[in-house]
Amino acid sequence: MRKLQTFIFLLSCLISIGTLSQTKKTIIKAGKLIDTENGKVLTGQIIYIENDTIKAVGSNVAIPKDATVIDLSKATVLPGLIDCHTHLTGQPTADYYGDIFRKTPIDAAILAHIYTQRTLDAGFTTCRDVGAPAFVDVALRNAINNNDIPGPRLLVATLFIGSTGSHGDLNGFSPFLDWQFPKQMSGIANGVDELRKQVRYNIKYGADVIKFGASAGVLTEEESVGAPQFTQEEMNAIVDEAKMWGRKTCAHAHGTEAIKMAVKAGVASIEHGSLIDAEGIELMKQHGTYLVADIYNDDYILSEYAKLGFPEKILNKERSIGKLQRANFAKAVKAGVKIAYGTDAGVYPHGWNGKQFFYMVKFGLTPMQAIQSATMNAADLLGWKDKVGSITPGKWADIIAVSNDPLNDITVLEKVQFVMKGGVVYKNELTK
């Protein structure tokens, strides 16, 4: 018996030694560090990382002899950025109708890893992906988590939930085309019971968050831009069912009334928010609802989408709403609505996510607030405030850096030069 106990003790010691020897230690020397929790800039900071986790941050952190040292003492260091509204399974090509009718979810799956790589290279280490065909986003998330492909950490919405004839449906074409599309993969549901079932279906197959279309939209062929497309009872059911399963909800909502209905239902965020009015702004403040407004892509749509074969009716909808969205975003910012960063990347090329920072500053945020919208605020919206959003002990080592100070010129975040996710360096143009 004593021999067995001795053997077990020695074995446990060997296992402990082996575990210790496998600990990867990394030191980052940061010239400037943007403290997103407190809205301050710290200088001469040392970040100590073990494996994928930040262990210590400060000016007097001891540097282990066996640590790998990354010298960013001439750079500005920030937490990895977060985009709360992406569509990583596609982006438009020069064939609008071909994209709709000649491609399948398999096409999306084959190309999606390219888009995740571009997004990670742009400094976005976490994304909330809010709508994808046939659960491709679930496979994408899982492949990234398994280290099979590079990409940001993903929370995924799977199928966009919409009503018949809505922004989430196929509109303006022959009803016979509907026969080609599997209903169970469409996300189309009507009435309280169907919608509860659809929420459960999405969650069953991997949804981290539930996305639904509270209003009409721009880049589809239904007539309206902002009309409500669910009743209040239907929206309430979606949010209530998601909450029962421990999921947050986000609502695609351009229209004035649809925004208010979704906020009253209890969504965590309003996506787009283009036609929000003073009453909607006040409701969002009362409920603590985040606004996730894609205020860059109007420029890209109006300059490029005619070349991509998009119908004039869609372009006219964008012309009618783009400027209003930016003006109303400025009103929401001034009123104190909570803002989280979200770009709708996929409407324009993936990897351009950082272009929106300029517009957020132009329309009311300070540079620090814009950065916080893509770090601490976004982390709070996702429910991951204890994991990402700041360079803080105990959080994942998701860290980026740029050679110039984004508080002086926010556009430097359009070309991030250093990217670390989970303690692994994916991009380094600063220390070569």
Residues 6+ apart with CB under 8 A from 123: 80, 81, 354, 400, 413, 416, 419
Q: Which of 100, 213, 232 is nearest to 157 (CA)?
A: 213
Distance of alpha carbon 399 from alpha carbon 168, whole angstroms: 36
CA distances from 292 to 85, 168, 261, 275 (A): 7, 19, 16, 13
Q: Which of 202, 133, 86, 155 is nearest to 381 (CA)?
A: 155
Q: Are residues 62 and 32 in the same domain?
A: yes
CA dihedral 96, 97, 100, 106 (to 10 degrees): -80
305 in a structural domain: yes
Per-residue model confidence (pLDDT) at position 101: 84
Q: Are residues 205 and 75 in the same domain?
A: no
Give the range of the structural domain holding residue 415, as residue numbers without chain letter.
Answer: 21-80+391-428
SS3 state of residue 431 = coil
Region of residue 204 (phi > 0: left; psi between -120 and 50: alpha; otherwise: beta): alpha
Q: Are residues 305 and 338 in the same domain?
A: yes
Strand segments, DSSP code E, in 124-214 are 124-129, 153-156, 209-213
Q: Are residues 71 and 108 in the same domain?
A: no
Q: Are residues 170 and 42 in the same domain?
A: no
97-154 residue pLDDT tens:
888 888 889 999 999 999 999 999 999 999 999 999 999 999 999 999 999 999 999 9
| 270: CATH | 3.20.20.140
14 in a structural domain: no
pTM of the model as a whole: 0.94
CA 333 to centroid of chain Cα atoms: 20
Distance of alpha carbon 423 from alpha carbon 139, whole angstroms: 23
| 58: CATH | 2.30.40.10
Average pLDDT over residues 76-84: 98
Query: Predicted confidence band at 17 (pLDDT cuts at 50, 70, 90)?
Result: very low
12 in a structural domain: no
Residue 307: count of CB within 10 angstroms of its CB: 8
Residue 14 clears pLDDT 70, i.e. is over it: no
Per-residue model confidence (pLDDT) at position 176: 73
Q: Are residues 414 and 274 in the same domain?
A: no
Distance of alpha carbon 404 from alpha carbon 249, whole angstroms: 37
Q: Are residues 314 and 407 in the same domain?
A: no
Per-residue model confidence (pLDDT) at position 2: 58
Q: 8 or 185: whose pLDDT is higher?
A: 185
Domain count, the chain: 2
Region of residue 344 (phi > 0: left; psi between -120 and 50: alpha; otherwise: beta): left
Per-residue model confidence (pLDDT) at position 341: 98
285 in a structural domain: yes
Distance of alpha carbon 348 from alpha carbon 219, whole angstroms: 12
Tokens coding 349: 């090329």
Q: Are residues 38 and 132 in the same domain?
A: no
Q: Are residues 41 and 111 in the same domain?
A: no
422 in a structural domain: yes
Q: Looking at this protein, which amino acid is placed at residue 100?
A: I
399 in a structural domain: yes
Per-residue model confidence (pLDDT) at position 103: 87
230 in a structural domain: yes
4 in a structural domain: no
Distance of alpha carbon 365 from alpha carbon 82, whole angstroms: 17
Q: Are residues 90 and 27 in the same domain?
A: no
Distance of alpha carbon 191 from alpha carbon 376, whole angstroms: 36
Residue 331 clears pLDDT 80, i.e. is over it: yes
Supply the mean pLDDT for the chain.
93
Q: Are residues 207 and 174 in the same domain?
A: yes
Q: Are residues 176 and 248 in the same domain?
A: yes
Per-residue model confidence (pLDDT) at position 95: 86
